[in-house]
Amino acid sequence: MNSKSNSNTKVKIPNKPFLIVAIGASAGGLESVTELLKHLPEDTGMAFVYIQHLDPTHESMLSSILSRATKMKVVEAENMIKIEPDHLYIIPPNQDMVIEDGMLSLTKRTNRPVIHLPVDKFFISLAEQQKELAIGIILSGNASDGTVGLRAIKTAGGLTFAQDDSAKFKSMSASAINEGAVDMILSPQAMA
């Protein structure tokens, strides 16, 4: 019998959409995100992106520190890296980051006098790209970065969280809560 087989033909199956969880924090955020990660399963099927206010002149150790808190693959973001489920991506120092077509896009941080709002910037891009497949979380931190971005996620149909009184520094969460941009106010453990 001399029939041709299609067993070697590969059919490209489109990627199934998945939730992307953006986590924003500043002062005290490392403790909070560590608590969140310790209680998350490693195979949620979601991707996580952590945006923390970082000193632009110092190398970040966040990737190695957070890899001890989770079994997910922890990666410092690179320009145009494809976002994959069950990964945690960390913003590098001295960079701003947005999401474009399922990839992380990095640009050099704008110098002063421009106010640096990396959490808002990423959250807004996530809302535009992911709509109802976006989740935004504000953890411990000072000032109000993340409030406008959480509002964008909520308006786009996504889900929003803010850390409760367990936050070491409460002003980032309080700003988002007072703005009405938060669906749930929980501890990091309860969020997981």
CA atoms of 108 and 176, how far apart (whole Å)? 26
176 three-state secondary structure = helix
**Catalytic: 53?**
yes
Q: What are phi and psi of 33, to 5 degrees?
A: -70, -35
Catalytic residue among 86, 144, 145, 175: 145
CA atoms of 82 and 169, how far apart (whole Å)? 32
Q: What are phi and psi of 98, to 5 degrees?
A: -135, 170
CA atoms of 176 and 72, how far apart (whole Å)? 28
Nearest partner of 25 among 157, 127, 159, 150, judged by Cα: 150
**Catalytic: 26?**
yes
Radius of gyration of the chain (CA): 18
Residue keyed to tokens 């497949």: 133
Catalytic residue among 32, 53, 166, 173: 53
**Catalytic: 5?**
no
Supply the residues annotated as catalytic.
Answer: 26, 53, 145
